[in-house]
Copies of this chain bind each other. A is one copy, B any other.
């Protein structure tokens, strides 16, 4: 759309997970240094003299919101669907856990993050989540229905 610009702010978090039932090595408890790219799209502010003149959104504001809603919750946590055998022991021993209720694939996590940020009022255009330096999943916010990502249809969605 005329005058629209995309802006992206990139984050990183380290988390563990386990894909129960996976035929390959992801069936083990393992972890990744996730790289999270949050893209917003809109018209830059044109009113002169404002702090945010020329910005779609102030990178500092995006940073604060994504940190509070996503990074602080997932960083150095075990991201759980809820059916992992280690879950109880982790919780009992005080190791950080984020119970998400869905299978923690890169696809589902990207959908979860985009939906959560949109619910927080951020004009999210897309979210790209790198699971490793050679693999990512990306979701457009417009492809997520108002009631949440596809995995919510299986029930147990804690959004």
Name A's B-contacting residues (CB within 8 A): 1-11, 19, 21-24, 43-44, 46, 48-51, 53-56, 58-60, 102-108, 110-111, 133-140, 143-145, 149-151, 153-154
A51 to B26, CA, bound (A): 10
A103 to B46, CA, bound (A): 10
Q: Look across to chain B and name the residue whose beta carbon is closest to the beta carbon of A7.
A: B137
Tell me if B138 and A5 are in contact (CB < 8 A). yes
Tell me if A149 and B3 are in contact (CB < 8 A). yes
Tell me if A8 and B135 are in contact (CB < 8 A). yes
In the complex, 19 of the A-B residue pairs with CB atoms within 8 angstroms, ordered by the A residue number, are A4-B143, A5-B138, A5-B143, A7-B135, A19-B54, A21-B49, A21-B53, A23-B51, A44-B105, A44-B107, A44-B150, A46-B153, A46-B154, A48-B154, A53-B103, A54-B103, A54-B151, A55-B105, A56-B137
Q: Which single member of B5, B9, B138, B139 contacts A139 (CB below 8 Å)?
A: B5
